[in-house]
Amino acid sequence: MTSTSVTDLVAGLADGSVEVIDLTQPLSETTPVLVLPDPFANTPHLSRKTLSKFDDNGPAWAWDVLELGEHTGTHLDAPIHWITGKDGEDVASIPPGRLVGPAVVIDKTAEVAADPGYLLTPDDLAAYEAEHGAIAPGSWILFRTGWGSRASAEAAFLNAGPEGPVTPGPDVAAARWLAEHPNVVGFGVETVGIDAGAAGGFDPGFPVHNFLLGAGRYGLTQLANLEALPAAGALIVVAPLKLVDGTGSPSRVLAFVPR
Ligand code: 23J
Ligand code: MN
């Protein structure tokens, strides 16, 4: 490849024919976090302590110390997050080229509006390929559900009912389909986790975590603004911390979209 395509991208950014969309939710003390049932440990919300704020501890500077789980807000799941991927990559070991790729957007907003526990199926994934063409090498599959509109209200976002959380995600067969597709590098969602709310009760439990991370692929959660992406043709950039031994990391996620 010559430098032409990168030059074209730079020109497109300058003339507005390529738009940058921020797929990241704001990260703050009110960012919703996953709630697992007893007896499992739960991740805290983000909190911070002031080191100095233009005071005796630092008269001309302000800075804070953060406490947060690796899996907080818009974040990446690395293979070592799950027992099936425990010998795989930590966050720091992910090759940078895998963090940039085609964005494949599967829109089930209408289905999820009618059924918040909607389960994505292999037929849905095959129907996408029939309509928009084969999934290209290095792709990130993004499950558009409209759930991001709940992201600023934790109760609505987690949507816990008497039988546990009711949120959309892949069924067991779709999880296997994603993990076995040779061109799928990652799977991204608008919800708090890459698995459906009911997935703890599936066989296997949490099948997307089980199969996808076990296959050395990556998860991406709590995405924003997926409605601004085309079904095909955008480029995604996923930027987790280069956290050594990290099982996951809050991430800035951007998309380049042709206009
Ligand atoms: C641990 C156990 C179950 C789940 C998760 C973490 C996540 O959603 C996560 O952030 O990886 S479902
Ligand atoms: Mn996670």
Can you give the pLDDT of all 259 residues of the chain as single tens digits? Answer: 567 899 999 999 999 999 999 999 999 999 999 999 999 999 999 999 999 999 999 999 999 999 999 999 999 999 999 999 999 999 999 999 999 999 999 999 999 999 999 999 999 999 999 999 999 999 999 999 999 999 999 999 999 999 999 999 999 999 999 999 999 999 999 999 999 999 999 999 999 999 999 999 999 999 999 999 999 999 999 999 999 999 999 999 999 999 9
Phi-psi region of 225 (alpha: psi -120 to 50; beta: other; left: phi over 0): left
CA of 199 to the centre of ligand 1 (A): 10
Say if 65 falls within a structural domain: no
Say if 63 falls within a structural domain: no
Q: Which of 31, 33, 34 to mutate to test the pocket of ligand 1 (most atoms within 8 A of CB)?
A: 34
| Bridge-based pairing state of the strands 75-77 and 218-220 | antiparallel
Say if 42 falls within a structural domain: no
CA-proximal residue: ligand 1, atom 7 (nearest): 193
Say if 231 falls within a structural domain: yes
Say if 186 falls within a structural domain: yes
Residue with the two structure tokens 């899996």 = 71
Domain CATH number, residue 159: 3.50.30.50
Q: Which of 159, 167, 194, 209 to mutate to test the pocket of ligand 1 (most atoms within 8 A of CB)?
A: 209
**Enclosing domain of residue 117:** 21-27+74-258
Say if 115 falls within a structural domain: yes
Say if 185 falls within a structural domain: yes
CB 251 within 8 A of CB 75: yes
Residue with the two structure tokens 């704020």 = 53
Cα-to-chain-centroid distance, residue 132: 22
pTM of the predicted protein model: 0.97
CB 65 within 8 A of CB 48: yes
Spatial distance between the Cα atoms of 200 and 37, rounded to a whole number of angstroms: 10
* Residue 239, CB-side half-sphere exposure with 13 Å CA sphere: 8
Say if 43 falls within a structural domain: no
**Domain count of the chain?**
1
Give yes or no: 209 in active site. Answer: no
